[in-house]
């Protein structure tokens, strides 16, 4: 199955680019029908234009209420034939006016191992807190911010010398790997929801005994 995908973004759009590159490579069965930004100067819009992908800009400032902005998003996406929506650095909270029409068909990427560090400062929070394992999460979107059922997470090490930028860059590399993978699982109809649990049909199971520490254990604690 090929999914008719809409991408919502507000900024650089590197995740959108990673998705679009996999589509171009024939590795992700998606048709990116439309890229929408709420910011006219989002670099992601330029990326889309240069790839010949249709774009739209809907400024939230033109709408007095979140709901009317969301309704316009829905109208625009539907007009373009969009069935699934990927949020890729989209900096607006979506209300039921958006989520009800696209129920269960909206996914997001977040630069932390949720439920740790939701919100817009996740990279800085992880660096400042001194976590040893940071990461990213692709999840379904519900009405609470960075909250819906988790499809895939990736962990990266964090070091005492990290700041938001260095850690953010390490996380972003993994974002670009896991987001297209999650979308391809959806496109191949392998993703099922059981309450908060996401089942990915046929996915290999990481060994229950698998673990990773940062820093690495040293002898004799290695055995
Ligand atoms: C990413 O870190 C993503 O996880 C977060 O916003 C950032 C968007 O980056 N939601 P980009 O616009 O895809 O480069």
Which protein residue's CA is at the shortest distance from atom 14 of ligand 1? 14
Is the shortest distance between the CB of 172 and ligand 1 below 6 Å?
yes
* Residue range 101-159, pLDDT digits in tens: 999 999 999 999 999 999 999 999 999 999 999 999 999 999 999 999 999 999 999 99
Residue 207 in tokens:
């060994």
Q: Residue 207 C-alpha to ligand 1 middle, in angstroms?
A: 30
Interval between CA 14 and ligand 1 midpoint (Å):
7
Ligand 1 atom at minimal distance to the Cα of residue 18: 13
Which of 60, 110, 147, 176 is catalytic? The answer is 110
Q: Kindly state the tokens that stand for 31.
A: 């048709």
Long-range contacts, 93-100 (Cβ 8 Å, 24+): 93/66, 93/145, 94/70, 94/141, 94/143, 95/66, 95/67, 95/70, 95/143, 96/143, 97/66, 97/67, 97/68, 97/70, 97/71, 98/70, 98/71, 98/73, 98/74, 99/141, 99/142, 99/143
pLDDT score for 192? 97
- Write the pLDDT tens digit of every residue in 175-189: 999 999 999 999 999
Long-range contacts of 170-174 (CB under 8 A, 24+ apart): 170/134, 171/111, 171/112, 171/123, 171/134, 171/135, 171/136, 172/14, 172/111, 174/135, 174/136
Sign of CA dihedral 14, 15, 21, 23: negative
Residue 54 pLDDT: 98
Neighbours of 91 (CB within 10 A): 15
Say how many Å lie between the CA of residue 15 and the centre of ligand 1.
Answer: 6
Question: How confident is the model over 33-58, as a mean pLDDT?
Answer: 98
- The token duo for 81 is 């034939």
Q: Is 15 in the pocket of ligand 1 (CB under 6 A)?
A: yes
Q: What is the atom index within ligand 1 of the atom nearest the CA of 87?
A: 10
Residue carrying the six token digits 């400062």 = 121
Domains and CATH numbers, the chain: 1-103 (3.40.50.170), 108-223 (3.40.50.170)
pLDDT at residue number 207 = 92
What confidence category does residue 160 fall into, taking pLDDT thresholds of 50, 70 and 90? very high
Token output for 203: 């996915």
* Ligand 1 geometric centre to CA of 209 (Å): 32
Cβ atoms 121, 128 nearer than 8 A = no
> What residue owns the CA closest to ligand 1's atom 6?
89
Integer angstrom CA distances of residue 150 from 28, 118, 132? 20, 13, 21
C-alpha pair distances (Å), 172 with each of 60, 89, 111, 154? 26, 11, 7, 10
pTM: 0.97
- Is residue 110 annotated as part of the catalytic site, yes or no? yes
């Amino acid at each position: 199955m090929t999914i008719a995908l809409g991408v919502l973004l507000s900024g650089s759009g590197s995740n959108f680019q990673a998705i679009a590159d996999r589509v171009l490579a024939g590795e992700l069965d998606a048709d990116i029908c439309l890229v929408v930004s709420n910011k006219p100067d989002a670099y992601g819009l330029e990326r889309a234009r240069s790839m010949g992908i249709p774009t739209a800009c809907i400024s939230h400032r033109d709408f007095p209420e979140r709901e009317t902005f969301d309704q316009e998003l829905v109208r625009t996406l539907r007009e373009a034939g969009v069935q699934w929506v990927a949020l890729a650095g989209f900096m607006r909270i979506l209300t039921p006016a958006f989520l009800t029409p696209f129920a269960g068909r909206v996914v997001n990427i977040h630069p932390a191992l949720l439920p740790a560090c939701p919100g817009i400062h996740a990279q800085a929070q992880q660096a400042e807190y001194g976590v040893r394992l940071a990461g990213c999460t692709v999840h379904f979107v519900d009405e609470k911010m960075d909250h819906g059922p988790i499809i895939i997470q990736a962990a990266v090490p964090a070091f005492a010398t990290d700041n938001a930028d260095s850690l953010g860059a390490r996380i972003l590399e993994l974002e670009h790997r896991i987001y297209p993978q999650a979308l391809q699982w959806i496109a191949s109809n392998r993703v099922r929801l059981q309450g908060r649990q996401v089942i990915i049909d046929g996915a290999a199971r990481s060994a229950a005994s698998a673990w990773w520490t940062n820093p690495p254990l040293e002898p004799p604690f290695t055995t």
